[in-house]
């Protein structure tokens, strides 16, 4: 489902207890016939568009990144609890699909402190 920030915020609050908009939500299939399908994805188009602009690529590319991320969740992976298994799988599949940096990498990159480079020491000139 492609939706708005308002609608995805409601879904996020209802199903995850988080009162904020997000980019993609995964809903595993349940009930009769669940074994024949993975489930449903909800993607916020306004959020995907902002993220695409921020990453410097097309909305269609961002939607593919979000779909891959959501499908990995539907397959049972959870980057918040799996010691990097989902991140590794996402990276492998993004490479095969020719997709740019994924959601997990973006968060990891943003949360790392900037690398500081020590200034080079140069010999001081002396008066002669």
Q: Give the model confidence (pLDDT) of 3-23 as tens digits.
A: 999 999 999 999 999 999 999
Q: Residue 103: its pLDDT value, please?
A: 84
Q: Residue 53 has what pLDDT?
A: 96
**What would the DSSP string read from start to end of the chain?**
-EE-HHHHHHHHHHHHS--S--SEEEEE--STTGGG--EEEEEEHHHHHHHHHHHTS-HHHHHHHHHHHHHHHHTT--TTTSTTHHHHHHHHHHHHHT----HHHHHHHHHSPPPP-PPPP-PPP---
Output the average pLDDT for the chain: 86
Q: Which residues of the chain have pLDDT under 70?
A: 111-128
pTM: 0.81
For domain 2-100, give the CATH number. Answer: 3.40.390.30
* Predicted pLDDT at 123: 42
Residue 112 pLDDT: 60
Q: What is d(CA 93, CA 79) in angstroms, rounded to the nearest whole number? A: 15
In angstroms, the CA 102 to CA 38 distance is: 21
> In the chain, what are the domain boundaries?
2-100
pLDDT computed for residue 121 by the predictor: 43
Confidence (pLDDT) at 128: 35
Share of the chain above pLDDT 70, in %: 86
């Amino acid at each position: 489902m492609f939706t708005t920030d308002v609608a995805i915020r409601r879904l996020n609050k209802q199903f995850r207890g988080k009162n904020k908009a997000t980019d993609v939500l995964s809903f595993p299939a349940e009930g009769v016939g669940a074994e024949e399908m993975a489930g449903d994805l909800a993607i916020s188009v306004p959020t995907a568009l902002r993220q695409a602009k921020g990453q410097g690529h097309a909305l269609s590319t961002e939607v593919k990144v979000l779909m891959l991320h959501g499908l990995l969740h539907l397959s049972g992976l959870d980057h918040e609890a799996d010691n990097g298994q989902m991140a590794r799988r996402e990276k492998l599949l993004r490479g095969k699909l020719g997709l740019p940096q994924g959601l997990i990498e973006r968060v990891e990159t943003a949360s790392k402190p900037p690398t500081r480079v020590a200034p080079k020491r140069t010999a001081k000139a002396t008066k002669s």
